[in-house]
Amino acid sequence: MNLASLTAVQEWTWLGLKADQWIAVAGGSVGLAGVLVAWRALVHAKRSAKASEDSARAAQKSADEAATISGIERERWHDELTPTDQKEVVGQVEGRLPDVQGLFGTIRVNRVCRVNAVATVRATDVTTTTPITGLPLLLRPNREYRFHIQRLTQGVTVRSEVWFRFWPPIPELDGADWTCQCGRPLSKEATPDGRGHWEVLLPIKLKAL
């Protein structure tokens, strides 16, 4: 192995060239100048490959960043479209006689939406849910909807939360055409587990009698 080969072997290690690439350059009856030219060509090729790899990586990175940003935007819009601003349900007890008293609550929405709601009560590790009654399927804004949470009979556990599931309206059926573009299912029927497009859990605050 001559001097040029030795130098090149060191460079080769540093450049991470494969042995067969080097052999392709050094093999045969090329003179020292030829070896150097070929070696420079290889170095150049390596560098260009590295540069285009870098720019491909940079392009991928900015594409990923753009996707993340638009994902964040979509989530922000989704949150902003949550149909209610209510933070609690005021629980009102109605009925004078024990055993015929009922617990009622109200909900207001800020845009036409579909709803399904259940009342829940949590024990240590079990959450019991019961359907509420009196809410229509479709809620409209600027109205207060009153619903029945439960009967308050002797010894019954008072429900502590109302769990609302909201969906955007279905344009053909509900005569309203706003929607959310976050990608979550847009109707109860389109959601295998029945999860709401928005899930809102509101505590029931009993109104002082």
Structure tokens at 70: 């638009």
> Binding string, 45-84, against Zn ion, x = CB under 5 A?
---------------------------------x------
Angstrom distances, CA of residue 28 to CA of 3, 9, 45: 16, 16, 21
Kindly state the smallest distance separating residue 184's Cβ from Zn ion, in Å. Answer: 5
Asked if 30 interacts with Zn ion (CB under 5 A), we say no
Strands 145-151, 138-139: pairing kind = unpaired
CA-CA distance, 31 to 163, in Å (whole number)?
83
114 membership: H or E segment, kind and range: strand 113-122
| Of positions 21, 182, 185, 188, contacts Zn ion by CB under 5 A | 182
* 140/184 with CB nearer Zn ion: 184
- How many residues sit in the footprint of Zn ion (CB under 5 A)? 4
Return the structure tokens found at 206.
């009993």
Q: Cβ 167 to Zn ion, closest distance in Å?
A: 9
Min CB(93)–Zn ion separation in Å: 36
Q: Which is nearer to Zn ion, 12 or 163 (CB)?
A: 163
The answer to whether residue 180 forms part of the interface with Zn ion (CB under 5 A) is yes
* Residue 113 within binding range of Zn ion, rule CB under 5 A: no
Q: CB-based contacts of 18: which residues, under 8 Å, 6+ apart? A: none
Q: Which is nearer to Zn ion, 54 or 199 (CB)?
A: 199
Nearer to Zn ion, 108 or 184 (CB): 184
What backbone torsions phi and psi does residue 142 show, to the nearest 5 degrees?
A: 60, 35
| Total Cβ atoms within 10 A of residue 209 | 5
Which residues in this chain contact Zn ion in the complex, by CB under 5 A?
78, 180, 182, 184
